[in-house]
Structure 1
Amino acid sequence: MIPEPPQSLLQLGHRPDLGILVGRWAYQPVQPELPAVYQHVETVALAENCRFWLQDIRRRTLNDPQTTAWLLNDFFPGMARRLGGRLFVAYLVGPTLHEAILQQPGYISAEAYDGKPFAISFFGDEGEAIRWLQTQQSGLR
């Protein structure tokens, strides 16, 4: 059994008024913390049947390539299947991490996710991130 992540790492809640699952990361996690965190995200997303996620990672300092590959190749496609539709993840990032993500080899823009079971986009402004998620919701109606 995977333990629940420390509450100090990730605050996760569903905003039914917006139809968005909001995760706020408090610090840069170490690799051993991640399985429990993503199991918790999966459990809450399935319980709320929510495919629109805002992940506030402004307090994180780096993007681990191994974790990124796992998210893109396994976790996000699997979550889309389990949720029964396309998954949309808006990442709210600080300027330094945002630049590092854009500069890393293999970076994929939001437009390049067309035809995939999930879409990801990065934002420096929370309002813009929420508007992007709401636009995705509107496109499904």
Structure 2
Amino acid sequence: MLALPSTEYLSLVYRPDVRVLVGRWLRDTLPQEMYSGYGLMLNGAAEQQCRFWLVDARRRDNGTNGQNVSWMMDTFFPQMVARLGQPVFIAYLFAPSHLHDIIADPAIPSLSYFDNRPYRVERFIEERTALEWLASCQTVVAAR
């Protein structure tokens, strides 16, 4: 593993063995910390030329308010694609109760929102399953 610049609220590594950027939120964050953290992830991904991300949000349960969702959809995702190219694949890890709340929240887009976009998002509760999905995405991209 290659350690990348991190903070007290975000651990960031690149795993060359599976070609995945791994960002682990270590606690709940304030909005500015979230924006800065995603900026660090984007910088690390650009340095490693990595379009496959595992974002572990199991220790963070305040990230789904309307302001944060709007920022992700309107600001961050377009910046990410502009900087990394496309497609970009993000596997999110959530605690089961948090994932349930996300699915039930009408302010959070369903996964079908990401169809036909230059980035793909999936949600998981098990890291192994998330890494398997990312590996399958790498296989599809390599076959193109």
- Within 5 Å, give how 1:103-114 maps onto structure 2: 103-114=104-115
Asked if 1 retains the 8 angstrom alpha-carbon contact of 2:21 and 2:52, the reply is yes
**AA of the residue aligned to 1:43:** N
Unaligned 5+ runs, structure 1: none
TM-score (norm 1): 0.89
Partner of 1:56: 56
Which residue of structure 1 lines up, in the alignment, with residue 126 of structure 2?
125
1:134 match: 135
Q: SS state of the match for residue 101, structure 1?
A: helix
**In the alignment, which residue of structure 1 is the partner of 2:29?**
29
1:105: Cα distance to partner?
A: 0.7
- Partner residue of 2:79? 78
Amino acid aligned to 1:58: R
1:92 is aligned to: 93
Q: CA deviation at 1:111?
A: 4.4
Q: Any idea what SS the aligned residue of 1:28 has?
A: coil
Structure 1 residue 6: Cα displacement: 6.5
Query: How big is the shift at 1:115?
Result: 1.2
Partners of 1:48 and 1:6 lie apart in 2 by: 15
Q: Secondary structure at the match of 1:79?
A: helix
d(CA) in 2 for partners of 1:112, 1:30: 26
Q: Write the mapping of 1:30-49 to structure 2, written as runs, cut at 5 A.
A: 30-49=30-49
Change (3 A) 1:106 1:7: closer
For normalisation by structure 2, the TM-score amounts to: 0.87
**Cα contact 1:25–1:60 (8 A) shared by 2:** yes
For the Cα contact (< 8 Å) 1:92–1:125, is it kept in 2? yes
Structure 2 gap ranges (5+): none
Q: Secondary structure at the match of 1:14?
A: strand
Q: Is the CA contact 1:52–1:88 (under 8 Å) kept in the aligned structure 2?
A: yes
Secondary structure of 1:53's counterpart equals: strand
CA drift at 1:93: 0.3
What is the rounded CA distance, in whole Å, between the counterparts of 1:39 and 1:11 in structure 2? 13
